[in-house]
Amino acid sequence: MDFDAIVVGSGMTGGIAAKELCERGLKVLVIERGRHLDHPSPEYTDDQNPWEIENRGLVSEIYDEQGRYRMLKAKGWTYRPEVMQFFVDEKEHPYSFPPERPFMWTRGYHLGGRSLTWSRQVYRWSARDFEANARDGYGVDWPIRYDDLAPWYDHVENFVGIAGNRDGVDSLPDGDFLPPWELSAAERKVIETLRETMPDWPMVGGRCANLSEPRDHHSALGRGRCQARDLCMRGCSYGAYFSSLSASLPAARRTGLLTVESDQVVHSVEVDPATGRASGVNVIGAGDKSTRRFEAPIIFLCASAVASTQIMLNSVSERHPRGLGNQSDALGRYVMDHFSGAGASGHVPGIDELYAYGRKPNGILMPNYMHRHDEDLDFVRGYCFQGGARERGTTGSSGNRRGIGREAKERDRQTLPWRFGFFMSGETLPYKENRITLHPTEKDKWGIPVVHVDAQVRENERRMIVQAEKDARRILEAAGCTDIDTWRVPEDEHIMLGGKTHEMGGAPMGRDPGTSVLNGWNQVHSVPNLFVTDGACMASCGSVNPSLTYMAITARAAHHAADLRSEGRL
């Protein structure tokens, strides 16, 4: 079959690319390295009761004995039997890093990718985020600004369905929102008190891609209202949270122009030596290791920041001896992720008679306020705070105490005071030395060189952590909290990048082909029919969750590619 476009990857950006290109009338092939999944899938566990989950929710000790899922265990909250089917075991799919600087690469090899397991927190970047590199000189200047992306934020928000409030905060632009989820009593009190005591440091309710009230086009795709069960990572049979599997790919299928090939590992992109343009992708069957080649005049890499960079580095030819589009030596560089390292919690007094019902899918966000900070700072960029207080705790489980019967049960049902907690999410600077390369000797089961990631936070980020702990206490004191506890990662403790699952960089956008890989439309400078729109394209990482920005960038690039195609230029 002839295709107008190939999209590598079926997750957050791959789904959007497929949808937008199909809706523009292009025949699209999506290539997914993992297994096929339907929606809803038999692999979803969101309808299982606690006693129906394997081992009652405990992971088998065999995994520890076999050295499996070590990174997933380090991540913590994903190391559970009811969700592990959506994550990759790095022992089976290895990558490497310096022993003293481990990097966490979380992957999901199945149709829909990590869009099934993301945290669904969605925020627009501000104008300052796109100007940051030019302002302080770190990294390469973004070739686009907020105004270039604003209409595409609108476009994606409408399709995705985002519950949020229009807060009027310049560092966190408003968007096209569904009704917001109600804040808990403690969150309301903290936010309202801070409006009076620290009006220049705004805190707002979180914005999330869970349908609080479906619109007609959501219902047309079979998506229903969020039930506030907090079982999202198990897969949502309601389609209430946004995923490529429940929204983007079905929208693309409705056009009749989508073809999906799963269990196909992309080895490299091939370039026609006569034209200098990408002519197709080389794939290896995940099971039988058979080789195939798919051709199309437009190719989108949406495999994730690390995987797309790996494909480009492995696409070596006489014209591209150091990797595809790597004339600038920027390919594989400027690897970034958000990091934590400090936070605080405190009791919220005066609301002990109030309770919370249901398990809403969001908390709070305090966007980066560094430009309003009233102290001299010894670092650049900044951080946001995320957290909240969704429900009150109780005195504990009777399984941990002596006693039986009514007295023990009543004792353990006693509620604790409302406690509000939050943590920093810091912006890692785009350091050229933070780098993805291909391992010189190790290969995976398909004969492809494994990824080697050498990236770390540096002195600038360490200084942020020190200030963030001070700010966290100051904020909670201003909110009227008591019994405040703060925490901070020790200076000599390694902070593992990748832990936030927000890896970015590797093929950064830029104005100058001599310092960047992609232009302002996400085209490889030297290969204009090859687009890279996942996290690899990011020139900086901001401080808020990046998925919405990825999707807006992807939609913009897809429409540009379709325009070029209709003009006969691709």
H/E element holding 218? helix 216-220
C-alpha to C-alpha distance for 117 and 122, rounded to whole angstroms: 14
Is 374 in a helix, a strand, or coil? coil
List the structure tokens of 362.
């969001």
Alpha carbon separation from 379 to 20, 337, 437, 462, 467 (Å, rounded): 40, 17, 29, 9, 9
As a three-state string, the secondary structure of 531-552 is EECCHHHCCCCCCCCCHHHHHH
**Which residues, 6+ apart, have CB-to-CB distance to 450 below 8 Å?**
94, 95, 96, 438, 439, 442, 443, 444
Strand, helix or coil for residue 371: helix
Query: What's the pLDDT tens digit per position in 462-511?
Result: 999 999 999 999 999 999 999 999 999 999 999 999 999 999 999 999 99
Instruction: Enter the tokens of residue 525.
Output: 């400078």
The DSSP result for 69-133, as a single string, is SHHHHHH-TT-STTTGGGS--TTTS--B--TTS--------BTTGGGGT---B--PPPHHHHHHH
The H or E element spanning position 409 is helix 405-412
pLDDT of amino acid 400: 57
CB contact burial 132-150 (16+ within 10 A = b; e otherwise): bbeeeebbbbbbbebebbe
461: left (phi over 0), alpha (psi -120 to 50) or beta: alpha
27, exposed or middle or buried, with CB in 10 Å at 0-12, 13-18, 19+?
middle
What's the CA gap between 45 and 359, in Å, rounded? Answer: 17
| Chain centroid, CA 49 distance in Å | 28
255/246 Cα distance (integer angstroms): 15
Strands (E) located in 253-341 = 258-261, 264-271, 278-285, 291-295, 298-301
Q: Answer positive or negative: Cα dihedral of 18, 21, 24, 29.
A: negative
Count of alpha carbons within 13 Å of 164, Cβ hemisphere only?
27
> In 10 A of CB 275, how many CB atoms?
10
Measured CA distances, 464 to 11, 343, 365, 564 (Å): 32, 12, 18, 44
DSSP 3-state of 285 = strand
- Measured CA to CA in angstroms, residue 243 lies from 153, 162, 249 at distances of 17, 12, 9
Distance CA(527)–CA(385), nearest Å, equals 40
Q: What is the pLDDT along the chain (570 residues), one digit of tens a residue?
A: 699 999 999 999 999 999 999 999 999 999 999 999 999 999 999 999 988 988 888 898 998 889 999 999 999 888 999 999 999 999 999 999 999 999 999 999 999 999 999 999 999 999 999 999 999 999 999 999 999 999 999 999 999 999 999 999 999 999 999 999 999 999 999 999 999 999 999 999 999 999 999 999 999 999 999 999 999 999 999 999 999 999 999 999 999 999 999 999 999 999 999 999 999 999 999 999 999 999 999 999 999 999 999 999 999 999 999 999 999 999 999 999 999 999 999 999 999 888 887 789 999 999 999 988 888 899 999 999 999 998 777 666 545 566 777 877 777 777 788 999 999 999 999 999 999 999 999 999 999 999 999 999 999 999 999 999 999 999 999 999 999 999 999 999 999 999 999 999 999 999 999 999 999 999 999 999 999 999 999 999 999 999 999 999 999 999 999 999 999 999
Residue 165's closest CA among 152, 153, 181?
181
- Contact between 379 and 463 under an 8 Å Cβ cutoff? The reply is yes
> Do the beta carbons of residue 431 and residue 305 sit within 8 Å?
no
Q: What per-residue confidence (pLDDT) applies to 389?
A: 92
Are 213 and 161 a contacting pair, CB within 8 Å?
A: no
pLDDT at 397: 52
> In the structure encoding, which two tokens stand for residue 237, read together?
């049979």
Both structure tokens of 101? 């600087």
Q: Which helix (H) or strand (E) holds 252?
A: helix 249-253
List b or e across 520-552, with b for residues whose CB sees 16 or more CB atoms inside 10 angstroms: bbbbbbbbbbbbbbbbbbbbbbbbbbbbbbbbb
> SS3 of 38, please?
coil
| Domains of the chain, first to last | 1-93+104-121+239-337+432-441+503-570 (3.50.50.60)
Adjacency order of strands within the sheet including 482-488: 204-205, 364-366, 383-388, 419-426, 342-347, 482-488
DSSP 393: -
Determine the length of the chain.
570
